[in-house]
Each structure stands twice: as C-alpha cells, then as structure tokens.
Amino acid sequence: MKHLILIRHGKSSWEYDVGDSDRPLSERGIKDAHLIAKALTDRIPPIEAVYSSPACRALHTAVILIRELGLSLDLLNINKDLYDFSGSSVKAFVHSLPDQLDQVMIFGHNHAFTNLANSWGSRYIDNVPTAGFVHLSFETTSWEGVAYGKTQKTLFPRELK
C-alpha cells in the first residue's frame, strides 16, 4: 500500500516586490502551518521521504511541519517538478517515486493539489486551501500504478480555529 500526503503551502505574503517563487509566507501562513502540524502529531503514518517545491512559501511550510512533527530534515528533498499549478508535473513526479518508499509527503501548490486530490481520491474536495492537508492511500505496490485511491483524511486550518 502507498500513502501520499499532499500539503499545500501556507498563505503567502504579497508585501514584497519579488517573483512568484520567492514570495514568503505571511504571518497567517506561518501560524496555520504550525496549527496543522500540531493537529497531525501522531495522526499520520511514519513518513519515509518529504519532497517540496522550491518556492519559498512551500519550502518554509515543509520545514515548519517537519520540525513540528519531529521528523528529520534529512528526509527533505527539493524538486522543481513540484512547482506546478496544473498537476501534470506533480502526477509524473509521483509516478516516478522509488517503489521502496511507501509513505511520502509532498508540499506544493494549487490547482495541482486540488486536481490530484479529486482525480486520485475517493472524496470530492472543492478546494485544498492554504496549509491544507490531504492523505491519500492506494492499493498498489508501485507508485507508477497510482491511480484511484482512498481519501483517508483531510484537515484544513479553518477546521481548527
């Protein structure tokens, strides 16, 4: 069985005159990332690898969750294919994951994550919000075979406030 955890980056700040990939998290984005992480402690499968988009807001969200969940920063990998808004690059990335990994967490962007959650999951999600968490599982031994699975859990910041 394969477990894929999708976490959309926290709310970003538009205060700075920087390119899209350099936009930092806003104060709310930082707080929401901590909020989600605390709520997930001891509620997710053991994570074997973490992958993040190179965008500042996604990477910062990843580091917050890794630390809050007590995971090793050595698990973190940055991959440019996760800086994707449609979902096609993320889908190809997931299909290329090494099969020895069973529990993977990825940090990235919308509309990619909403599209994949709805394409691969068993429950329709109107929108994966910033700092939103979606846990999908698949009855397969190969990431290449990931298609339709089960939505195990969703958790969004608004549910915790």
Q: What is the pLDDT of residues 53-94, one digit of tens each?
A: 999 999 999 999 999 999 999 999 999 999 999 999 999 999
Nearest to 102 by CA among 133, 151, 134, 140: 140
158: confidence class by pLDDT, cuts 50, 70, 90: very high
153: confidence class by pLDDT, cuts 50, 70, 90: very high
User: What is the H or E stretch that residue 35 is in?
Assistant: helix 27-40
Q: Are 59 and 108 in contact (CB under 8 A)?
A: no
pTM value is 0.96
Domain that holds residue 48: 2-160
Q: Report pLDDT for 43.
A: 87
Q: Report pLDDT for 49.
A: 98
Cβ atoms within 10 Å of 54's Cβ, excluding its own: 13
| Number of domains comprising the chain | 1
C-alpha span between 126 and 146 (Å, rounded):
22
CATH number of the domain at 8, please: 3.40.50.1240
> Which residues contact residue 139 at a Cβ distance below 8 angstroms, ignoring those fewer than 6 apart?
1, 149
Q: Report pLDDT for 42.
A: 85
> Vertex 142, ends 141 and 148: CA angle to 5°?
90
